């Protein structure tokens, strides 16, 4: 009997990953850039033993009990396949019992796949004797990518991280741009909808090419990627903010014009975007929005402005909850187990 526990954060993409070059290897079409989120952490314990007869993954619910993750759910399928893949790579026949919990409400509509899959992959690699792979973050990030939620690969490092696109497994790895102490940037997540998203990211990546607005990503996106890296290096929110918003809007334009289309926004999404624009234009606060494949809004600002922005967002009747995040360290092993 051997237990391994790993903790990992979610991340918010400043430059989004949407669309793939190789669907079977989950290789992003373009390089994408994110920041880790201190308020959205998953902890996962894996127990491996020849006495366990069947793989199980249980996820902690809000009332504290554990619920079995079904193999038939999108997430469950990816997670059980990741176990199978790593077991095979390690040449083992052992099964595992997995338990997992999130530091943030799992019913708030916040994507937990990045934190969940990076934590699971890390704990599995160590459990199956591949600690060298876990410690080599470049290799580790590629293993995480293969779980099918490629954005999770950005969670292996702390702070500000780039996941490369490309055409082969070896090209598509993550690397750190700056660590979690480099810049006091904050992501205040304003949740406005707790529904499960109706179009999965996998379906969205597959449909992206059908949008007329998804034609020349390299020419359009590369200058934005360069500006984003420069902005992080210079800690320049005035340069970063417009890149974040432009990238969010172009991704949602592709989503809404794909066949079939995906509309993620809700009335609360627009209401928070308007709050952000009001704070920026009328109150002269450097604050910007980012929206993933869901309705909730990530409000990005510097720490010195966070309290006033958080208060303003709390006045918005369509905001259900707030999750405050600073950049934090990436995936790490810890010594306390969940069971």
Q: Using CB under 6 A, list all residues that contact ligand DP6.
A: 13, 16-18, 32, 111, 113-114, 149-151, 201, 292-293
What's the closest the beta carbon of residue 21 comes to ligand DP6, in angstroms?
Answer: 14
**What contacts 182, CB < 8 A, 6 or more positions away?**
159, 160, 232, 235, 327
Structure tokens at 167: 């055409």
Q: Pick between residue 14 and residue 128 the one whose CB is nearest to ligand DP6.
A: 14
CB-CB contact of 167 with 27 (8 Å): yes
What's the closest the beta carbon of residue 139 comes to ligand DP6, in angstroms?
Answer: 19
What's the closest the beta carbon of residue 31 comes to ligand DP6, in angstroms?
Answer: 11
What's the closest the beta carbon of residue 75 comes to ligand DP6, in angstroms?
Answer: 8
What's the closest the beta carbon of residue 131 comes to ligand DP6, in angstroms?
Answer: 25
CA–CA dist 95, 138 (Å, integer): 27
Rounded to the nearest 5°, which phi and psi values hold at 78? -60, -40
Q: Pick between residue 113 and residue 127 the one whose CB is nearest to ligand DP6.
A: 113
What's the closest the beta carbon of residue 11 comes to ligand DP6, in angstroms?
Answer: 7
What's the closest the beta carbon of residue 228 comes to ligand DP6, in angstroms?
Answer: 13
Q: Pick between residue 126 and residue 293 the one whose CB is nearest to ligand DP6.
A: 293
| Longest distance between any two alpha carbons in the chain, whole Å | 64
What's the closest the beta carbon of residue 20 comes to ligand DP6, in angstroms?
Answer: 9
CA distances from 315 to 107, 109, 154, 162, 176 (A): 22, 20, 33, 35, 36
Q: How many residues does the chain have?
A: 339
Q: Are strands 185-191 and 174-178 parallel, antiparallel or unpaired?
A: unpaired
Q: Are strands 56-60 and 95-102 parallel, antiparallel or unpaired?
A: parallel
Q: Pick between residue 45 and residue 151 the one whose CB is nearest to ligand DP6.
A: 151
Q: Helix, strand, coil: what percent of the chain each, to 5?
A: 40, 25, 35
Residue 277 Rama label (left phi>0; alpha psi -120 to 50; beta): alpha
Q: Pick between residue 151 and residue 211 the one whose CB is nearest to ligand DP6.
A: 151
Burial letters 24-53, b for 16+ CB under 10 A, else e: ebbbbbbbbbbbbbbbbbbbbbbbbeeeee
Number of H helices, E strands in the chain: 9, 14
Q: Pick between residue 110 and residue 276 the one whose CB is nearest to ligand DP6.
A: 110
């Amino acid at each position: 009997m051997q237990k391994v526990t790993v903790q990992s954060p979610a991340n918010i993409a400043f430059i989004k990953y949407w669309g793939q070059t190789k669907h079977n290897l989950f290789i992003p079409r373009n390089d994408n850039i994110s920041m880790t989120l201190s308020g959205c952490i998953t902890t996962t314990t894996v127990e491996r033993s020849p006495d366990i007869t069947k793989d199980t993954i249980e996820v902690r619910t809000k009332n504290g009990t554990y619920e079995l993750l079904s193999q038939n759910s999108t997430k469950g399928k990816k997670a059980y396949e990741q176990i199978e893949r790593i077991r095979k790579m390690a040449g083992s026949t052992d099964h595992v019992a997995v338990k997992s919990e999130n530091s943030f409400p799992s019913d708030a509509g916040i994507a937990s796949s990045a934190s969940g899959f990076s934590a699971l992959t890390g704990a599995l690699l160590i459990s199956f004797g591949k600690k060298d792979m876990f410690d080599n973050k470049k290799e580790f990030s590629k293993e995480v990518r293969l779980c099918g939620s490629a954005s999770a690969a950005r969670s292996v490092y702390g702070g500000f991280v780039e996941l490369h696109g490309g055409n082969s497994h070896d090209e598509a790895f993550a690397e750190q741009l700056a660590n979690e102490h480099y810049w006091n940037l904050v992501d205040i997540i304003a949740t406005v909808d707790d529904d499960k998203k109706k179009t999965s990211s996998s379906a969205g990546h597959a449909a992206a090419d059908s949008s007329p607005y998804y034609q020349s990503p390299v020419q359009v996106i590369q200058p934005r990627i360069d500006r984003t890296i420069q902005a992080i290096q210079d800690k320049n929110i005035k340069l970063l903010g417009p890149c974040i918003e432009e990238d969010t809007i172009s991704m949602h334009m592709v989503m809404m014009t794909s066949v079939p289309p995906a509309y993620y926004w809700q009335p609360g999404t627009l209401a928070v975007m308007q709050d952000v624009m009001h704070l920026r234009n009328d109150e002269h606060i450097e604050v910007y929005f980012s929206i993933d494949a869901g309705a909730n809004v990530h409000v990005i600002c510097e720490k010195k402005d966070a309290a006033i922005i958080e208060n303003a967002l709390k006045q918005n009747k369509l905001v259900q909850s707030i999750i405050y995040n600073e950049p934090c360290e990436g995936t790490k092993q810890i010594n306390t187990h969940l069971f």
